[in-house]
Amino acid sequence: MGFGVNLNFSQFIPSIPFILEGVLVTLKIVALAALLGFALGIILALFKIGRIKVLTWLANVYTSVFRGTPLVLQLMIIYFGMPQIIGFEIDAFPAAVIAFGLNSAAYISEIIRAGILAVDKGQREAAMALGIPYKPMMRDIILPQALKNILPALMNEFITLTKESAVVTVIGAMDIMRRAYIVGGDKYAFFEPLLIAGLIYYILVMILTLLGKAVEGRMRKSD
């Protein structure tokens, strides 16, 4: 028999805990990158809708560059390229967080910008008429309403981030993907460990999706 389905999952059972440890690594990278991307995304969105032309321009260029080049390239520039400039090595983990954070900031800023613009103009006018300054107006009145509207889009972005985080494999971070690959290399069989990794990603994404739905449902209740 030259070929045929020849799968043997049982030999990988001892390796499953090793692969599962990657879940924590993946989640840590995604969570930190999401935080970074969210914070930076808000700032970029405010620049985009603000009146200061230079900042608007800067934010637009930023978005354009990060959306216009491959994520894996950005990751490799930060991990392999940056040490040349800053003079010291960066570990795979912080490099991944920075690359994904900066990248998702570009996408998130677009989502937030659209969300802010979708808030009724009257809200801003009512706030201005009460003499509420720009900062508290944005923080307490406009952004909470914008965030509520864009929650599904944000959730989508985090799910994308979770899946795309698998490219950290190329810089050697020990995430789900990398571990599956290592196990495959040990046993000279990649199909089963990669399937296991796929299943783990799928379950993560499903959990995130359900979580998003739950949060959305709770926010709906206030109106």
Partner 1 sequence: MIKVENLRKSFGKLEVLKGITTTIKQGEVVAIIGPSGSGKSTFLRCLNLLEEPTDGKVWIGDQEITNRKTNIMKVRQNVGMVFQHFHLFPHMTVLENLTYAPMKVKGMAKAEAEAKAMELLRKVGLAQKANEYPSRLSGGQKQRVAIARALAMSPEVMLFDEPTSALDPEMVKEVLEVMKSLAHTGMTMAIVTHEMGFAREVADRVLFLDGGLLVEDASPSEFFSAPKSKRAQEFLEKML
List residues binding partner 1 (CB under 8 A).
120, 122-123, 125-126, 128-133, 136, 140-141, 144-145, 148, 222-223
Convert 103-125 to b/e letters by CB count within 10 Å (16 or more is b): bbbbbbbbbbbebbeebeeeebe
* CA dihedral sign, ordered 54, 57, 63, 65: negative
| Cα torsion 211, 212, 214, 218: sign | positive
Residue 221 DSSP class: T
How would DSSP label each residue in 72-98?
Answer: HHHHHIIIIIHHHHHSS---HHHHHHH
Q: Of 17 and 122, which has the nearer Cβ to partner 1? A: 122
Min CB(212)–partner 1 separation in Å: 19
Instruction: Return the structure tokens found at 185.
Output: 């290399």
| Minimum distance from residue 50 beta carbon to partner 1 (Å) | 17
| In the complex, minimum distance from the CB of residue 112 to partner 1, in angstroms, rounded to a whole number | 16
| Residue closer to partner 1 (CB basis): 28 or 148 | 148
* Distance (Å, whole) CA 200 – CA 117: 37
Instruction: Name the residue nearer to partner 1 (CB basis): 117 or 128.
Output: 128
Number of other CB atoms surrounding residue 37 within 10 Å: 27
Complex with partner 1: residue 134 or 190, whichever CB lies closer = 134
Residue type, 50: G
CB 122, min distance to partner 1, A: 4
User: Which is nearer to partner 1, 138 or 204 (by Cβ)?
Assistant: 138
Least gap, CB of 120 to partner 1 (angstroms): 7
Tokens of 35: 């935080």
Residue 148 or 187: the one with the smaller Cβ distance to partner 1 is 148
**At 128, which amino acid appears?**
M
The DSSP secondary structure of 103-117, one letter per residue, reads HHHHHHHHHHHHHHH
- Least distance to partner 1 from the beta carbon of 149, Å? 11
